[in-house]
Amino acid sequence: MSERVAILGASADPTRFSNQAFHLLRSHGHTVLPVNPQLDAVADVTVAATMDELTGPIDTVTVYLRPALAEPLCDDIIAARPKRVIFNPGTESQILRERLQAQGIGVQWECTLVLLREGRY
């Protein structure tokens, strides 16, 4: 099933895991919505500066920001009403986990790349 996936902390640098996730998600047929206030585009996709700029439903948010940068975005994530948020290794935040789960949003502490490669996405 194809999903609309927001990538918080998207990067145009092919050595970054968020960039690898961008390309792997697309190769699996997902619509990828990169978010980074310091970036204009990833490949041929325009990057949103904030979650507020994204339109339409979001199925999954995958986080590639350390907790100190991601925690201030909690209200934006909640407002987007994703079905789940994936916290990739090094991005885990108990504060975010508790707030998101309290809103009925699923939380996974997993690696998006591994989930895709193992068919568990």
User: What DSSP string describes the chain?
Assistant: ---EEEEET--S-TTSHHHHHHHHHHHTT-EEEEE-TT-SEETTEEPBSSGGG--S--SEEEE-S-HHHHGGGHHHHHHH--SEEEE-TT---HHHHHHHHHTT-EEEES-HHHHHHTT--
Q: What is the pLDDT along the chain (121 residues), one digit of tens a residue?
A: 899 999 999 999 999 999 999 999 999 999 999 999 999 999 999 999 999 999 999 999 999 999 999 999 999 999 999 999 999 999 999 999 999 999 999 999 999 999 999 999 9
Q: Kindly state which CATH superfamily the domain 4-117 is placed in.
A: NAD(P)-binding Rossmann-like Domain (3.40.50.720)
Domain boundaries, the chain: 4-117
